[in-house]
Amino acid sequence: MRPQELNLLMVFDAIMTERSITRAAKRLSMTQPAVSNSVSRMRAAWKDELFVKDGRNIQPTLHAQNLWNQIRVPLISLTEAIDPKSFDPATAKRTFRIAVSDIIVDMVWAELRSIIEKHAPGVNIHAVPYTIINTEQVLEDAEVDIVLGNSGVISNTFRAEFFIFSDLCLCNES
């Protein structure tokens, strides 16, 4: 594999993650025309359309989806090997957008905010209302970082973990 093709894989991964050329460009700190140029090179190199327009977003072709399923985990491993970053809540400065139903807000939001304020003062959380019907869409459109609640059937594009809220310990430490 030539070095420029490795760069194309990084652009490809960003596009697949963001489902948008513009958001991928922002994520990669590139211009939108530069990412579009990379897409043209990918199409020529890999002999597939790769992405088709779908309203304001793009959808991957079957070939693109299959390719991403093969390279996603190795790319994550390579990225972590080259630039290891561990999340430190005490020093993090970030806003997390959390899709959450009203019932979950009533059950855990106040206590969750209290814990975050104490242990992660630079982290903000923002609740985004959702329903089980639009769970996958809010994740695909990158409207939220995480969904808390019942998600129904979710594609293998996203990582899902099941837990019962009674098993979740949101208790204040003394």
Phi, psi of 60 (to 5 degrees): -75, 150
How far is 85 from 91, CA to CA, in rounded Å? 13
What is the predicted pLDDT for the residue at 48? 95
What is the predicted pLDDT for the residue at 173? 47
Q: How many residues can be counted in the chain?
A: 174
What is the predicted pLDDT for the residue at 115? 92
pLDDT tens, 154-168? Answer: 666 666 666 555 545
For the chain, domains (ranges, CATH) are 3-82 (1.10.10.10), 94-167 (3.40.190.10)
What is the predicted pLDDT for the residue at 165? 53
What is the predicted pLDDT for the residue at 163? 59
CB 8 within 8 A of CB 37: no
What is the predicted pLDDT for the residue at 145? 84
Residues in the chain with pLDDT < 70?
Answer: 1-4, 84, 150-174
3-state secondary structure of 95: strand
The dihedral built from the CA positions of residue 45, 47, 50 and 51, taken in this order, carries a sign that is positive
What is the predicted pLDDT for the residue at 139? 79
What is the predicted pLDDT for the residue at 36? 94
CB 145 within 8 A of CB 97: yes
pTM of the model: 0.50
